[in-house]
């Protein structure tokens, strides 16, 4: 099988030595088994330039660590087919978070928002003898929510999060907020809704839907945000 060439342009920035960011181009020869963008990044690091920094772990769309901006759109390198990208592959860090080095960003703000929604079941009732039972119907309500891998593709594609990353929770944290509001085992629904009921944390979402558009797990944070709003309205009447 013939080998294919691709040109990859990577955002480079090492704050310890670079005065400002720049792009470095690589002409890469692909093997037939190099089908995903992560293969290309690994090949660049192994054979062309070991100074390129990026995160990755599972290479299966499970760990969420290799979110990058690919020709202007956020996605996971391990799930992105090289054949789906036309022309030069331009790789940048996911936008809106501080760059630590090259494609590696500081996720502190993202995880601060996630932790702020108390991402665990709150239940002060006495412990049952065995597990806390949930009906299949109640469990089904969590489908399309619990699959989130916290990759941050959505929140870093959201203009409201870029502008207020410390005040607006962002789509990923709001998806998880809904996950616990919707969980019938959780006893803290009212407190969770009270926490969200301020001008920024929930209501800075302007339903632009970038989040649902880029989610590599095909989840829909906008829908979850809409459901929280519905529950709030019902609670108020």
- Rg of the chain (C-alpha set): 20
Chain residues 161-200 in contact with ligand SF4, contact rule CB under 6 A: 171-172, 175
Closest distance to ligand SF4 from the beta carbon of 146 (Å): 10
The correct pick among 28, 151, 177, 228 for binding ligand SF4 (CB under 6 A) is 151
Sorted by sequence, the CB contacts under 8 Å of residue 37 that are 6+ apart come out as 70, 77, 78, 80, 81, 82, 85, 89
Please tell me whether residue 78 binds ligand SF4 under the rule CB under 6 A: no
Q: Which is nearer to ligand FES, 80 or 160 (CB)?
A: 80
- Contact between residue 176 and residue 208 where contact means Cβ atoms under 8 Å apart: no
Report residue 231 as tokens: 């529950």
- Contact between residue 6 and residue 89 where contact means Cβ atoms under 8 Å apart: yes
Q: Which is nearer to ligand FES, 57 or 108 (CB)?
A: 57
Closest distance to ligand SF4 from the beta carbon of 212 (Å): 7
* Gap between the Cα atoms of 100 and 92, Å rounded: 13
* Gap between the Cα atoms of 235 and 237, Å rounded: 6
The correct pick among 61, 95, 144, 226 for binding ligand FES (CB under 6 A) is 61
Please tell me whether residue 153 binds ligand SF4 under the rule CB under 6 A: yes
Please tell me whether residue 56 binds ligand FES under the rule CB under 6 A: yes
Closest distance to ligand FES from the beta carbon of 56 (Å): 4
- Contact between residue 152 and residue 76 where contact means Cβ atoms under 8 Å apart: no
* Gap between the Cα atoms of 226 and 2, Å rounded: 50
Q: Which is nearer to ligand FES, 148 or 202 (CB)?
A: 148
**Neighbour tally for 51: CB within 10 Å:** 10
Q: Which is nearer to ligand FES, 80 or 109 (CB)?
A: 80
The correct pick among 65, 80, 113, 210 for binding ligand SF4 (CB under 6 A) is 210
- Residues forming contacts to ligand FES in the complex (CB under 6 A) are 56-59, 61-66, 76, 78
């Amino acid at each position: 099988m013939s080998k294919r060439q691709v040109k990859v342009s990577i955002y480079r920035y090492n704050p310890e030595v670079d005065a400002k960011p720049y792009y470095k181009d690589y002409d890469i020869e692909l093997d037939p088994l190099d089908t995903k963008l992560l293969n290309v990044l690994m090949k660049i690091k192994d054979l062309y330039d070991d100074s390129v920094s990026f995160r990755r772990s599972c290479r299966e769309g499970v760990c969420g660590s290799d979110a990058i901006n690919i020709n202007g759109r956020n996605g996971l390198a391990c799930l992105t087919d090289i054949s789906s990208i036309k022309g030069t592959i331009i790789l940048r860090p996911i936008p809106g978070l501080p760059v630590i080095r090259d494609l590696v960003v500081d996720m502190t703000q993202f995880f601060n928002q996630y932790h702020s929604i108390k991402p665990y079941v709150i239940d002060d009732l006495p412990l049952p003898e065995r597990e806390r039972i949930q009906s299949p119907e109640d469990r089904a309500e969590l489908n399309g929510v619990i699959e989130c891998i916290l990759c941050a593709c959505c929140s870093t594609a959201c203009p409201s999060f870029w502008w207020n990353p410390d005040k607006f929770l962002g789509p990923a944290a709001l998806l998880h907020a809904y996950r616990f509001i919707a969980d019938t085992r959780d006893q803290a629904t009212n407190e969770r809704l009270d926490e969200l009921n301020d001008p920024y944390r929930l209501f800075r979402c302007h339903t632009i839907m970038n989040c649902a558009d880029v989610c590599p797990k095909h989840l829909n944070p906008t829908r979850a945000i809409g459901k929280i709003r519905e529950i709030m309205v019902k609670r108020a009447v």
